[in-house]
């Protein structure tokens, strides 16, 4: 292979695909990036078997060819190339020659015969603006379980409902649901994308402005757009019937400014115990909305917040971290908290926003 291309383009591609490489003792090729040079473009591929990605960039091709190079080596080299605009790559006797105005580098190549193929997924397909799809995932993924003990909740669940795509995640202590309006109806069963693949999907497609093409089979999902093609394994399992735990009614309602609540929670966390516990006391008739916390080694804190309240008095305790996580998904300046007895989940929504709901289970006091 022999080519010339923009350093900025190949650098961005390498830094992205290298994140997908993985270590595997039985398949050492997985820690490397496959470079395929043909036609008028250079394709860079990486996979860890659960996730695969291919990024295509324009290049001036003098000779077609394929090489496999350790991803960490490529990433370290291109991450430190500055004040350069063009790079020349050429395969020479199982080595990759890399030349710029100021650098002349020779990199050992790896045998590429054992490098796995990235599957082409042809199944149920639809298109969706990249920003909407990433917004759906980003709004809920932090609520997924991190452990793989229960893979069905260590995932983001996506399913169609009317003209919406619904994104849901839960770790059984809290739950986030985001509804994304689409221009078409979708005909597929719900899918579970592994949590460990979600952050890379967000990084790869987070700055794409065009529509994404999504294709589904029983075991795989592919996402393509912005010169990036990605495949991810789909978890074989059933997501919990979460709608049955969503409270149908509420006994107490409180609307507060998001920033006021955020500031108060941060202060409360300073004095929270090892379980990150903060306490909420709401008394609508007394116009009292109070957050408190106590730590035997540090001290205690009580903060009052201005709020519009209605309903019955209530006191409940929650994990500060779970509370804080949802703020990234709420764009409104004010949020409403819905309580249905002290032992039932707290529901949080942005004011006048029916697209996002967040539930937190109370802690035992």
pLDDT digits (tens, 9 = 90+) for 280-312: 999 999 999 999 999 999 999 999 999 999 999
185: pLDDT strictly greater than 80: no
Rounded distance, CA 251 to CA 341, Å? 7
* Cα 262 from Cα 177, distance rounded (Å): 21
Give the pLDDT band of residue 23 (cuts 50, 70, 90). confident
Model pLDDT, residue 316: 94
For the chain, the average pLDDT equals 94
Q: Cβ atoms within 10 A of the Cβ of 218, count?
A: 9
**Model confidence at 19, in pLDDT bands (50, 70, 90)?**
very high
Report the candidate in 338, 94, 133, 364 with the shortest Cα–Cα distance to residue 228.
133
CA distance readout (Å), 195 to 143, 282, 329: 10, 35, 17
Q: How confident is the model at residue 122, as a pLDDT?
A: 86
Task: State residue 365's pLDDT score.
Answer: 56
Q: Is 268 helix (H, G, I), strand (E, B) or coil?
A: helix
| 82-104 pLDDT, tens digit each | 888 999 999 999 999 999 999 99
Give strand pairing partners of 156: 193
How many other C-beta atoms are found inside a 10 Å radius of the C-beta of residue 357? Answer: 21
pLDDT of residue 83: 80
Q: Give the mean model confidence (pLDDT) for residues 77-84.
A: 88
Percent of the residues in the chain that have a pLDDT greater than 90, as a whole number: 86
What gap in Å lies between CA 302 and CA 300, rounded to an integer? Answer: 7
Sign of CA dihedral 23, 27, 32, 38: negative
By 3-state DSSP, what share of the chain in percent is helix, strand and coil, each rounded to 5?
A: 20, 45, 35
Q: What's the average model confidence in pLDDT over 5-19?
A: 95
- What is the arithmetic mean of pLDDT over 348-365? 92
Return the structure tokens found at 209: 């402005």
Predicted confidence (pLDDT) per residue in 310-347, tens digit? 999 999 999 999 999 999 999 999 999 999 987 889 99
Contact (Cβ atoms closer than 8 angstroms) between residue 316 and residue 342 = yes
Q: So what's the pLDDT on residue 343?
A: 85
Angle at alpha carbon of residue 190, lines to 189 and 195, rounded to 5°: 150
Query: d(Cα 365, Cα 359) in Å, to the nearest integer?
Result: 18
269-282 per-position pLDDT tens digit: 999 988 899 999 99
What pLDDT was estimated at residue 62? 96
Q: Tell me the domains of the chain and their CATH numbers.
A: 2-108 (3.10.150.10), 124-242 (3.10.150.10), 246-360 (3.10.150.10)
> Is residue 250 pLDDT above 80, yes or no?
yes
């Amino acid at each position: 292979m022999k080519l010339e291309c923009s350093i900025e383009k190949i650098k961005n591609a390498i830094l992205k695909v290298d994140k997908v490489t993985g270590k595997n003792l039985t398949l050492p090729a997985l820690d490397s990036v496959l470079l395929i040079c043909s036609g008028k473009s250079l394709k860079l591929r990486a996979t860890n078997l659960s996730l695969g990605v291919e990024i295509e960039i324009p290049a001036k091709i003098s000779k077609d060819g394929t090489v496999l190079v350790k991803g960490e080596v490529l990433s370290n080299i291109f991450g430190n190339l500055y004040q350069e605009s063009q790079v020349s790559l050429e395969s020479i006797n199982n080595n990759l020659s890399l030349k710029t105005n100021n650098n002349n580098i020779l990199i050992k190549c790896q045998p590429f015969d054992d490098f796995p193929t990235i599957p082409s997924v042809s199944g149920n397909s639809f298109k969706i603006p990249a920003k909407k799809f990433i917004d759906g995932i980003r709004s809920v993924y932090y609520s997924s379980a991190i452990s793989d003990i229960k893979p069905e909740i260590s995932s983001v669940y996506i399913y169609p409902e009317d003209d919406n795509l619904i994104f849901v995640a839960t770790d059984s202590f809290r739950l986030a649901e985001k509804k994304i309006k689409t221009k078409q109806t979708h005909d597929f069963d719900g899918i579970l994308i592994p949590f460990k693949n979600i952050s890379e999907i967000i990084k790869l497609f987070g700055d794409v402005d065009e529509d994404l093409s999504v294709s589904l089979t029983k075991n795989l999902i592919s996402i393509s757009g912005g010169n990036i093609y990605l495949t991810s394994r789909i978890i074989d399992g059933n997501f919990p019937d979460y709608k049955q735990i969503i409270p149908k009614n509420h006994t107490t309602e409180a609307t507060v400014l998001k920033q006021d609540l955020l500031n108060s929670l941060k202060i409360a966390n300073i004095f929270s115990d090892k379980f990150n516990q903060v306490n909420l006391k709401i008394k609508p008739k007394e116009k009292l909305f109070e957050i408190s916390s106590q730590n035997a080694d540090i001290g205690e804190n009580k903060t009052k917040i201005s709020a519009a309240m209605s309903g019955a008095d209530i006191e409940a305790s929650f994990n500060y971290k779970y509370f804080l996580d949802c703020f990234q998904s709420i764009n409104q300046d004010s949020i409403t908290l819905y309580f249905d007895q002290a032992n039932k989940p707290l529901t949080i929504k942005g004011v006048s926003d029916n697209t996002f709901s967040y539930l937190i289970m109370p802690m035992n006091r």
